[in-house]
Structure 1
């Protein structure tokens, strides 16, 4: 692989501005430099075949065909130094402690609203606030047991939090499978480099779920509730259930009895379920409480949860903090609940419900990224510098009509990493989604899912928008030196 022509429009994760590999990436870059273009192409082909054989797929709904596609995988990993990762990990743990305290407070005394740190109007207009959760205290006082926080690095090398995904975060199975593919393609590098492992996530997730059981003295029965095979993340649901050795169920497989306990239908008769890891949205989880015509959920499940007879992860209502407008208040939450300064900065944000911010956004639509409060997957947003005048005018009208639902952020020059192309390494923009598990302690994956915009110049990394993935290596240089 020839790096002589490699150019990047931003901060690059592997190659410094002087054209030399960054310290944590030196071993990898030297190794890749010893491979011919043909050898590299063969290894990329081997990685693509492995991904297809493993069934690493996702579903795209936007083209109207609902087709399962193999997630594009680029074999050049993203490299992070362990020292930087330790700070990032501490920042994510701090963030999750504050977010869980915020959710509990919102469904409890609402001190943060009473003290005017968080605006009452934002809460009143929140589409993810669930009245049915008021007064509930879930096990360990944890609401968001599983979180995927999206991190981006700007052109100056600063690592920012872009958003927190607290409802039903997905993608961790791709992180695990990417590592398996990378080990097949680069076995020699895993023997000679101090690459920290990620394969303990299923056991960590199982322990997190088991800790929620209302029957702590017994081995818990845990079920993963999936919407079914047509859901875009079904691959992940099946993968995690198998990896943890728990039941994969759909709504019709469970029922709530008169004793308020949740049971699973089996060939041996009803079996009580202690914990449900639900991958079904709040509004479809219980037709007795939310959408009455939902066939995805379980009638009475919220009643069972409120009675303390079953634990739900993530807890219903956790999405009140999974809101791109609420996101802007996380630094204030950290100061308010923890009396600490945030370790990781937020991407600067403009909130359109604020008159001054709204005026700025409307005057600078051609410079900003505008996002609706509760969309995901890269849908429904405006990338101002790349939008047409018609698209910007459409968003102007949307913001004026419903300012609470919109926020804006600067168009960051996202960091890049090289991907394999027929013409040699070529820079593509990336982000990073680590996964955080909250229980009595907090666990953070070593690295996470690096998503990559496979189209040159694109800033959209979501798989639903054509993005791909890379393995993420956190490298311990001290261990390598030893």
Structure 2
């Protein structure tokens, strides 16, 4: 919000004037009001392995993160370039693997990768789209200096919190939206349904029927699954609600079975089809992969997209972007050491206390080490894991992440943040203007994940 000399940054000027005129005690009461709203609405997430508090509220901060139009336009251009390259990469590795033949990517990163699905080889999804919904995690380290932290191409979550955060702010502070020209995010469900309908399979002869597949109420993101189905006006289903009939996947309704054209699935690949993958899965739909390959249904996101989330693959994204777009990447990666490389592993082990180390298939802030925030014993224990399975990890420098203010009992205080913009891909690429800002509520912490004590805040992209 403030520059080094204490002056207010231009995007925050109107908000800052408003904030200075407020009573901080009344704002604190508003924060509790927001918490009660989330509690009544049921906006929670589950923490796996935490028996004492398995279901939690995600803390919400009232101070919005505000992004100027020019800054957002630059970000959006880089994001669009990246998602187009990701889609082209997925198409290539499941077909001719030209990027490997060109020597830009080692075959070893594909062969044996647990996220690579041989069942997708030679098959092109309807519309040629693999990554229908992408959440790209971005961090800022200086004015106009952004880095992509990771790509979420499997089943990115958090969009319901983005929408609910906006709705809460508009209800509590309507005057702020009268004073600031903020671009909308609440139209996301409309754009999502349009985008999904645009990639209907060959078997669809009428208005596409869309459904959301959830693992069920015990999933950590169940609230979001139900929210999005409701907002799109489509059915929320579980695997037990559908079956394969006449070469189509059909859901049970009060009028009999109805074919589904587009399935927005929130079930991981391994559990999606017990006939093709894990036979013990009770979450998926038997036979859906055969129906999919025969043009009877569109699955979003496509099975096998998880390989684009692999953090070892991520380290090659500058080469991947340039290979498929013919241009240098507009958004840079965070510098990354691949621990599978002996020299890189030696460097990482020597500098463990300075680095952030992550599992290549990890998510949610689990299974990682933040060196500067870890004890010597924790570093030594993690070093043993690295030596045992070096190919399972990458390492990155500890970035001096930018901060934005949060409201505390003492007033405004800086905290580190990242940003997850959401991108919809079909016959067009649509980037929601804003996204989910995740904030590390603990002073000095760099871990923003809600499962690790982080919170969220509304993200404003200004029109001018």
Q: TM-score, normalised by structure 1?
A: 0.94
SS in 2 for 1:48: helix
Q: 1:313, 1:126 → 2: CA distance?
A: 21
Residue 386 (structure 1) aligned to one of 369, 373, 381: 373
Deviation of 1:50 after TM superposition, in Å, equals: 2.2
Q: 1:100, 1:404 → 2: CA distance?
A: 25
Q: Please provide the CA RMSD for this pair.
A: 1.2
SS in 1 for 2:332: coil
Matched, 1:89 2:76: yes
Residues 144-198 of structure 1 show CA distances to partners (whole Å, capped at 9, x for unaligned) of: 1101010111156521100000111000000000000010121001012111111
1:11 aligns with none
Matched, 1:185 2:169: no
Unaligned runs of 5+ in 1: 1-13, 478-482
Unaligned runs of 5+ in 2: none
SS in 1 for 2:340: coil
Matched, 1:468 2:455: yes
Q: TM-score, normalised by structure 2?
A: 0.98
Deviation of 1:66 after TM superposition, in Å, equals: 6.0
Q: 1:391, 1:133 → 2: CA distance?
A: 40
Question: Does the Cα contact within 8 Å between 2:71 and 2:144 map onto a contact in 1?
Answer: no
Deviation of 1:400 after TM superposition, in Å, equals: 2.0
- Counting only pairs closer than 5 Å after superposition, residues 432-447 of structure 1 correspond to structure 2 as 432-447=419-434
Deviation of 1:42 after TM superposition, in Å, equals: 2.3
Residue 236 (structure 2) aligned to one of 223, 230, 248: 248
Q: 2:112, 2:370 → 1: CA distance?
A: 25
Deviation of 1:422 after TM superposition, in Å, equals: 1.1
Question: Does the Cα contact within 8 Å between 1:433 and 1:448 map onto a contact in 2?
Answer: yes
Q: 2:53, 2:206 → 1: CA distance?
A: 42
2:8 aligns with 21
Deviation of 1:39 after TM superposition, in Å, equals: 2.1
1:339 aligns with 326
Residue 137 (structure 2) aligned to one of 138, 150, 156: 150
1:10 aligns with none
Matched, 1:421 2:416: no
Residue 162 (structure 2) aligned to one of 175, 183, 189: 175
Count of paired positions: 463
Residues 351-375 of structure 1 show CA distances to partners (whole Å, capped at 9, x for unaligned) of: 1122222221111101000000001
Structure 1 range deviating more: 230-239 or 389-398:
389-398
Question: Does the Cα contact within 8 Å between 2:271 and 2:281 map onto a contact in 1?
Answer: yes
Question: Does the Cα contact within 8 Å between 2:138 and 2:147 map onto a contact in 1?
Answer: yes
1:371 aligns with 358
Deviation of 1:216 after TM superposition, in Å, equals: 5.0
Deviation of 1:468 after TM superposition, in Å, equals: 0.7
Greater relative CO (CA pairs within 8 A, separation 6+)? 1
Structure 1 range deviating more: 397-406 or 449-458:
397-406
- Counting only pairs closer than 5 Å after superposition, residues 20-169 of structure 1 correspond to structure 2 as 20-65=7-52, 67-155=54-142, 158-169=145-156
Deviation of 1:310 after TM superposition, in Å, equals: 0.5
Deviation of 1:230 after TM superposition, in Å, equals: 0.6
Query: How has the CA–CA distance of structure 1 residues 295 and 127 changed in structure 2, closer, same or farther, with 3 Å as cutoff?
Result: same
Residue 455 (structure 1) aligned to one of 418, 442, 453: 442
Deviation of 1:392 after TM superposition, in Å, equals: 1.4
Matched, 1:316 2:296: no
SS in 2 for 1:325: helix
Deviation of 1:341 after TM superposition, in Å, equals: 1.1
Question: Does the Cα contact within 8 Å between 1:122 and 1:404 map onto a contact in 2?
Answer: no
Question: Does the Cα contact within 8 Å between 2:365 and 2:449 map onto a contact in 1?
Answer: yes
2:218 aligns with 230
Q: 1:139, 1:212 → 2: CA distance?
A: 6
Q: Which runs of 4+ in 1 moved over 6 A?
A: none
Q: 2:272, 2:236 → 1: CA distance?
A: 15
Residue 197 (structure 2) aligned to one of 203, 210, 218: 210
Q: 1:340, 1:441 → 2: CA distance?
A: 20
